[in-house]
Amino acid sequence: MYKAETPLITSALVEELHVKSAIPKPTAMGTPLRYSSAFGCGRQQGYAALGAEPTEPMDEAGAWATGLGTIVHEALQDCISRKFPSAQFEVASQLGDVSGSCDALIASADFEPFATWDVDFSQGTHVLYELKTMGTYSFDKQVGWNRMRGQANEGEGPALKAIAQAGMNALGIEASDPSIKIEWLVMGSITFEALSKNKAANMGVEGTNRFLAEFYLPRNEWEPIAHEEMNRMRGLAWTIDKGYLADRVAIDDNGNAIELNPNSGKFWQCDYCAFRTLCVEDGPGQVRIIDSAIAEKSE
């Protein structure tokens, strides 16, 4: 038997996904900032808004993860269109200098045949759906599993940044069409590794719950998170408009501001940043755009 040093056939899909990942993705409404960057580093968002050339382009592993996510999103949207006839997809909206599009916007009336638990969808005209695909670590945190020990406890629910993104989408859609009222967000989570049959039986987990989760958030939970992040993004847009790049500040999983340092090796945000080398060259603090290494690289 001979193991190939570099796969030739098996790599065909990831090779194409990697090529696609290098093509810049425009914002939904041509704005400098996007909802999907919620909780992200302010400096990174500034580089992206200015169209800076990535110094660390996405590698094959990153393209594989994001590409599979896109494939699942598109396949699920196709299925949603048949289960919920009113569903609209990639509904774009804008709030000032920030824009985005939701995975699905579904009329509340479509949920009436499925309303078997205490969620009153009649409070609004539509429900906004957002899907996230993820690895087992993030999924297990959301649902409260410890796979190694075979334990199931109360989970943390969807990530705050995902709630902020979906919430800003909801606020933007309502602003663009006053006839739409979104009271509920539905957050879907899919992991690619199902809980084993044996552990599922011991933990009382059945059916699709071994690899899927769905969370329902009422307006009084999601709206404050969305408004707070929207205000932060307005500040980022103002900083760029005044000719500066923001400091290296992001929001962590608990909703707290954290100052990042790409030289420390402690922050995953920096490890996966497409502009890490550029950020190191520019240094900490707010940086005048005309003094940034962006200017040198664009000449």
Dump the DSSP string for 28-92.
TTS-SEEGGGTT--HHHHHHHHTTPPPSS---HHHHHHHHHHHHHHHHHHHHHHHHSTT-B-SEE
Which of 48-57, 272-281, 288-297 bottoms out in mean pLDDT, i.e. has the lowest? 288-297
How much is the pLDDT for 274?
96
> CA angle, corner 83, sides to 36 and 111, nearest 5?
80
| Residue of 50, 51, 96 lying closest to 245 (CA atoms) | 50
How much is the pLDDT for 119?
78
How much is the pLDDT for 138?
96
Nearby residues of 245 by Cβ (< 8 Å), 6 or more positions away: 43, 46, 47, 239, 282, 286, 287, 288, 289, 292
Q: What is the pLDDT of residues 205-259, one digit of tens each?
A: 999 999 999 999 999 999 999 999 999 999 999 999 999 999 999 999 999 999 9
Per DSSP, what are the bridge partners of residue 188?
131, 214
How much is the pLDDT for 120?
79
How much is the pLDDT for 213?
98
pLDDT band at residue 111 under the 50/70/90 scheme: confident
How much is the pLDDT for 122?
79
CA pair distance 43, 162, nearest whole angstrom: 20
CATH class belonging to 28-298:
alpha beta
Residue ranges of alpha helices (H) inside the chain are 12-21, 42-49, 60-83, 136-143, 160-176, 197-203, 219-241, 268-271, 276-282, 293-298
Q: What is the pLDDT of residues 74-84, one digit of tens each?
A: 999 999 999 99
How much is the pLDDT for 241?
97
CA pair distance 127, 272, nearest whole angstrom: 33
- Statement: residue 127 has pLDDT above 60: yes
Q: What is the pLDDT of residues 129-153, one digit of tens each?
A: 999 999 999 999 999 999 999 999 9
How much is the pLDDT for 114?
77
Please state, as a whole number, how many other Cβ atoms lie within 10 Å of the Cβ of residue 8: 7
Residue-range domain boundaries for the chain: 28-298
How much is the pLDDT for 117?
67
- Do residues 277 and 54 lie in contact, with contact meaning Cβ atoms separated by under 8 Å? no
CA pair distance 171, 271, nearest whole angstrom: 32
pLDDT, the chain, mean: 95
Which of 62-66, 102-106, 119-123, 170-174 bottoms out in mean pLDDT, i.e. has the lowest? 119-123
- Do residues 186 and 130 lie in contact, with contact meaning Cβ atoms separated by under 8 Å? yes
Rounded alpha-carbon distances, angstroms, from residue 70 to 66, 168, 202, 269: 6, 21, 33, 21
Could you give the percent of the chain with pLDDT greater than 90? Answer: 92
- Do residues 156 and 98 lie in contact, with contact meaning Cβ atoms separated by under 8 Å? no
Radius of gyration of the chain (CA): 21
Q: How close are the terminal C-alpha atoms of the chain, in Å? A: 52
- Statement: residue 29 has pLDDT above 70: yes
Predicted model pTM: 0.94
How much is the pLDDT for 299?
52
CA pair distance 142, 163, nearest whole angstrom: 13
